[in-house]
Chains A and B, each alone.
Chain A
């Protein structure tokens, strides 16, 4: 399995966003699946997060203009869902499950270990911008607790050793 690193486009490059042909094509395609343009807002935002790494204010404006919504409304949707990044994320976002099954099966230890090893607290990122640590609620994989999600991938039944190996690999720039 290869976890793809997030490449967050810097904010300076996202002040006036215009969608290129590929994006435009994918957005138009998405729109065909929904009865109204507003209904396509979430998938279009996902597309943008995939493309730009996060949802910058300039992206909100471009999405709003494309869907005929107002930036204030789109901002409300973006900030409602914690899974949309409103600031540039690190290359790897470590999402540690904090809910019961994981917590009792070693999730708590994984979290403490990560904090100590990376020298950051929940919600923070390492200085080199490689890792970011966040706590999340049940990922729906309790059967293989403890679970950590890194970017879009699940790592299940993790031990501290496996986690260390994973972090080593990722920090060497290799995509795991």
Chain B
């Protein structure tokens, strides 16, 4: 088939791409035609018939542009009286079943249907209306549904299915006809992304007040980057009276193309949370009391000086949510002003995968695949966990790839999740088995293809690596993964056939296994296949927090310098630092956005460390559990109040533009570092100097993409003895609706998110004698908790899923810092 076909449109000859639809061609050529049921993110539906055009080469036949592929020699008319008449008739028909109450409809003014009425010149009396009465629609804490305003374009359904992969909505025949509905009229229980509402071209779906107040000011200001996960979504806060009242996104904004998750769309209410700190606090006679910035900063300075005078260590952990600029300043403050190497991102999922997994093999502590590569890959291998639970955009990208049939997706892990039902192959690997699976695959590739082995032999460290890999025999791999050798061979062949392979390694507290070991093994596999750095190929590590990548890039890590070099004198890793603090060796502990008592596993020495540290400073927007142990608490600005840049999991640096001012009494992180440094007599570099340093860092990364460092094979560990699992696997992770810290203070999300519960498969609930809605007692080796029982068909048998919400402290007891998988004992409690 030729790549270009020529099509005549309104007398003009246009070059169309073979395979595209007439509508795509028209849009690209700047020709407007009305559409109601079309959205480029989902498959065409052909339901509204407003996009009719006439085919002169076929006696004027009217065809829907969205569903008609271009063909050579087509002659189209988009603007003739016949076409206009047909479209108008069609719209009038649609209106017959639509309650036309624009004057009282909250969507009026931004309603596509209303707009089309005006553009097509249809007046109220053109419409012969059936009696349209309000019927009850979808029930939800998020959405108000008015079926009588629905035109059955199914955009909501297609978005929920094809983009979100949730498929909470469908069509149902009811007495009055067909309408949008949930299964069995149940209350909507979904990801609450709000995509369905944003896409609805009518007032049929609306956000429940006050989630989307009108009137409001939109479209002013610059879009900013969401700080709630590393997907890097672009969003525009709508501001009224100096407050963010809603958040929007647009189809043309990358990487998210108008999509947002519940966090990005609704968590902005934390900005005005009554729980926010608005003044610094200092400890006086055992109690935290409000104080002035002057006094608070002075107290911190004295804390630093005292630790220095005592010869005790000074340690700082900055959350990977800090902007690049602030992260750079923090490491500069510690290394330069204070003179301590102990600075880093603290306990942050993904950091070890990048620094100890990717860096030794591929030369930089960065993922080598970005979202463009992910979209272009012909095979995606996802290990360890389901990204739909943590990285909504990654999920949408692979869903789109599968729908285009240009991509196959294979998942291998032990946990439960929603993406599994969509993928081409799912391997239920035993907990901690991913590393062995990868080496098992490598062994097959090496033994099956001498050429491949020869090619790889040129890579540094090959001999030792190969020797290690050969220990992962079929028997060993089966003992560790529970996967039949034939399936491993089949997977190896599938990977070998792929031209563009992306391996995705999600990292998160609560995912069993060693993230660094899996990342290292995956990097080795990619090098062996020659896919580690090619377009459409590479390794994608998904950390938990928005700017993990940026923080590592600018040297907020005990072993890394800005730009990726190794620190001459490496500082302490977080758990080690806490242990030293517990032993009384730390005189000053600076926790920027970290809440060890709230969110870190118990085994991190968090309690002893905080008790043993001489002086503790907590810098956060809220009073956290850890503030209990603080000598000084400094309140900071967050989300839409921040300026700077962040780097997503895809390695792209994106700007933050403040939409509102922080509340009085609250300061940006970077300003605080500057003030402290000034008081300590060693000011930090100016804004311009910081930007110059950062520009150099990121230019370096850009260059590395074109002239990448040479890879090195890292020898695999000797295989551990086979593991058997009998019992219930504990699967702990944050809820999709929560990032584990800031979002906990969002009243909207708290209402949407189910309370902390243990979710189990129906058969397990029955087998354990539990009652849905009743309570269960959960015990692991390290802790116990009581929680509500919920039946969940997506949870796999023999596992118990606990998604944490606000009391992360209790769940911290369940988290394993060593990556060990946990078995849990679940009993009914009365």
Task: Identify the A interface with B (CB < 8 A).
Answer: 16, 18, 57, 60-61, 65, 68-76, 79-80
Contacts and interface: CB of A to CB of B under 8 A. Distances in A.
Contact of A71 (B184, B422, B762): B184
Contacts of B173: 79-80
Contact of A75 (B181, B422, B763): B181
Interface of B: 157, 161, 166-174, 178, 181-184, 421-422, 762-763, 766, 793
Contact of B161 (A60, A61, A71, A73): A73
A68 B421 contact: yes
A113 B551 CA distance: 83
26 contacts: A16-B766, A18-B763, A57-B183, A60-B183, A61-B793, A68-B421, A69-B421, A70-B166, A70-B168, A70-B170, A71-B183, A72-B168, A72-B169, A72-B170, A72-B183, A75-B170, A75-B172, A75-B181, A75-B183, A75-B184, A76-B170, A76-B171, A76-B172, A79-B172, A79-B174, A80-B173
A72 B793 contact: no
B169 A68 contact: no
B172 A70 contact: no
Contact of A73 (B167, B174, B793): B167
A57 B62 CA distance: 41
A74 B173 CA distance: 12
A75 B174 CA distance: 11
A72 B181 contact: yes
A65 B169 CA distance: 16
A73 B170 contact: yes
A53 B421 CA distance: 28
B133 to A, nearest CB: 20
A57 B184 contact: yes
A68 B184 contact: no
B184 A70 contact: no
Nearest to A72: B170
Contacts of A60: 183-184
B28 to A, nearest CB: 31
A18 B763 CA distance: 10
Nearest to B183: A71
Contacts of B182: 72
A61 B167 CA distance: 13
Contact of B167 (A16, A70, A79, A80): A70
Contacts of A80: 171, 173, 178
Given A16-B762, A61-B793, A79-B172, 13 more contacts: A16-B766, A57-B184, A60-B183, A60-B184, A61-B183, A72-B157, A72-B167, A72-B182, A73-B161, A75-B181, A75-B184, A79-B173, A80-B173
A68 B422 CA distance: 7
A68 B167 CA distance: 11
Contacts of B422: 68
Given A16-B762, A80-B173, A65 B183 contact: no
B204 to A, nearest CB: 16
Contacts of A73: 161, 167, 170
B181 A70 contact: no
Which 6 residue pairs across A and B have the least CB separation, nearest first? A70-B167, A72-B170, A71-B183, A76-B170, A68-B421, A79-B173
Contacts of B793: 61, 65
Nearest to B165: A70
Contacts of A16: 762, 766
Contacts of B763: 18
Contacts of A69: 167, 421
A74 B167 CA distance: 10
A84 to B, nearest CB: 10
Q: Which residue, B174, B178, B183, B421, has most C-beta atoms of chain A within 10 A? A: B183
Contacts of B181: 72, 75
Nearest to B423: A68
A18 B170 CA distance: 23
B416 to A, nearest CB: 13
A108 B318 CA distance: 82
Nearest to B170: A72
Contacts of A18: 763
A82 to B, nearest CB: 8
A80 B762 CA distance: 29
Nearest to A18: B763
A57 B161 CA distance: 20
Nearest to B762: A16
Nearest to A57: B184
A154 B422 CA distance: 41
A57 B184 CA distance: 7
A71 B793 CA distance: 11
B698 to A, nearest CB: 42
B183 A70 contact: yes
B793 to A, nearest CB: 6
Nearest to B171: A76
A68 to B, nearest CB: 4
A161 to B, nearest CB: 37
B764 to A, nearest CB: 12
Nearest to B182: A72
A16 B791 CA distance: 11
A88 B184 CA distance: 16
Contacts of B167: 69-70, 72-73
Contacts of A57: 183-184
A71 B763 CA distance: 19
B644 to A, nearest CB: 40
B392 to A, nearest CB: 17
B708 to A, nearest CB: 39
Nearest to B418: A70
Nearest to A80: B173
A68 B184 CA distance: 18
Contacts of A74: 170
A75 B138 CA distance: 14
A60 B181 CA distance: 15
A20 B258 CA distance: 44
A20 to B, nearest CB: 14
A65 B183 CA distance: 13
A164 B35 CA distance: 57
A60 B766 CA distance: 20
Nearest to B188: A72
Contacts of B168: 70, 72
Contacts of B169: 72
A80 B174 CA distance: 9
Residue among B168, B169, B170, B174 with the highest chain A CB neighbour number at 10 A: B170
A173 to B, nearest CB: 34
A163 B168 CA distance: 46
Contacts of B184: 57, 60, 71, 75
A103 B777 CA distance: 66
A60 B182 CA distance: 13
A127 to B, nearest CB: 24
B62 to A, nearest CB: 26
A60 B793 CA distance: 13
Q: Which of A68, A72, A75 has the most CB of B within 10 A?
A: A72
Contacts of B172: 75-76, 79
A3 B410 CA distance: 48
A80 B178 CA distance: 9
A15 B170 CA distance: 21
Nearest to A69: B167
A108 B167 CA distance: 44
A73 B181 CA distance: 10
B796 to A, nearest CB: 12
A75 to B, nearest CB: 5
A5 B178 CA distance: 31
A58 to B, nearest CB: 9
A57 B793 CA distance: 14
Nearest to A15: B762
A72 B183 CA distance: 4
A70 B421 CA distance: 9
Nearest to B174: A79
Contacts of B183: 57, 60-61, 70-72, 75
A109 B562 CA distance: 91
A161 B178 CA distance: 41
B174 to A, nearest CB: 8
